[in-house]
Amino acid sequence: MADKSIGERYNNQDYLTANPDWGASHAPWKARIVGELVERRGLDVDRIAEVGCGSGAVLEQLQQRWPDKSFTGYDLSSVAHEIARPRAKEGLDYRLEDLTAADAHYDLLLCLDVVEHVENSFGFLRQIRDKADWHVFHIPLELTASTILRGRLMAGRHSVGHLHYYTRETALAQLEECGFHIVSEYYSRPFARDGVHAPTLKRRLANLVRRATFRMAPHLVVRAIGGASLLVLARPDKAGS
């Protein structure tokens, strides 16, 4: 039963039933933080790919921001591919294909909220390392005192299929152990004000308190009560590979 839930949930209706838009509602926010990161660092990237692109909406948003660049989305889920495919247009392509086995190389590879879903996450990271000159990772930091004490880790496992749980330190350590050089990292809009991340009044009020304390002790707050993900810019570490 465990093998079925891990190996098939993205190719049957299980994940779609729990996540009807396959993450599309988060796409404007994710595209914005990726775009701001790339532009702030002045990266010269023309060919951009996303592994585990899901609904394809992040790449669609980025193409609107950078219409002169080319975008390719990869996903192994036939269900996700059917959702993404209608978004395809000139300069924006979606492939039902395993990037790790593809003969392809890009200027920038996005891996947004994917690593925590992959059973062999170490092997996956090593396989995508040399697929691009630059990598952007977005990793939820769910391993907190609050989630453990409230018994909330399994909720994410059942609803969105997370198999691995991270702190800032373990996420960065895994990337480095898999041959990535960390260029920059920061918490991505912790306790965001938008409705996607704070759908209820209770959550919005809690986030007001979290933001106030986060400004004083960010690492402590994230370790204690969570509410943040890590956005990482990395390059393949040629010296360590």
Instruction: Give the C-alpha separation, 146 to 151, whole Å.
Output: 8
158, 17 contact by CB (below 8 A): no
| 223's tokens | 């370790």
Q: Nearest CA to 138 among 23, 39, 240, 60?
A: 23
Give the model confidence (pLDDT) of 132-177 as tens digits. 999 999 999 999 998 889 888 887 777 777 889 999 999 999 999 9
User: Helix, strand, coil: what percent of the chain each, to 5?
Assistant: 45, 20, 35
Segments in the chain forming alpha helices (H): 2-8, 13-18, 27-41, 57-65, 78-84, 121-128, 145-149, 153-160, 168-177, 201-214, 218-225
Phi/psi region, residue 163 (left: phi>0; alpha: psi -120 to 50; beta: rest), is alpha
Q: How many whole angstroms from its chain centre is CA 184?
A: 16
The predicted-structure confidence for 26-66, as pLDDT tens digits, reads as follows 899 999 999 999 999 999 999 999 999 999 999 999 999 99
For residue 150, the model assigns a pLDDT of 86
Q: What are phi and psi of 131, to 5 degrees?
A: -85, -5
pTM, 2 dp: 0.87
DSSP state, residue 40: H
* Cα 43 to the center of its chain, rounded Å: 19
Q: Helix (H, G, I), strand (E, B), or coil: what is residue 34?
A: helix
Residue 25 has pLDDT above 70, yes or no: yes
Output the pLDDT for position 3: 43
Task: Map residue 135 onto helix, strand or coil.
Answer: strand
Q: What are phi and psi of 80, to 5 degrees?
A: -65, -40
**197: confidence class by pLDDT, cuts 50, 70, 90:** low
Q: Rounded mean pLDDT of 78-105?
A: 95
As to burial, measured by CB atoms within 10 angstroms (0-12 exposed, 13-18 middle, 19+ buried), residue 200 is exposed
Nearest to 45 by CA among 64, 73, 31, 66: 66
b/e code 63-82 from CB counts within 10 Å (16+ = b):
beebeebbbbbbbebebbbe
At 139 the three-state DSSP class reads strand
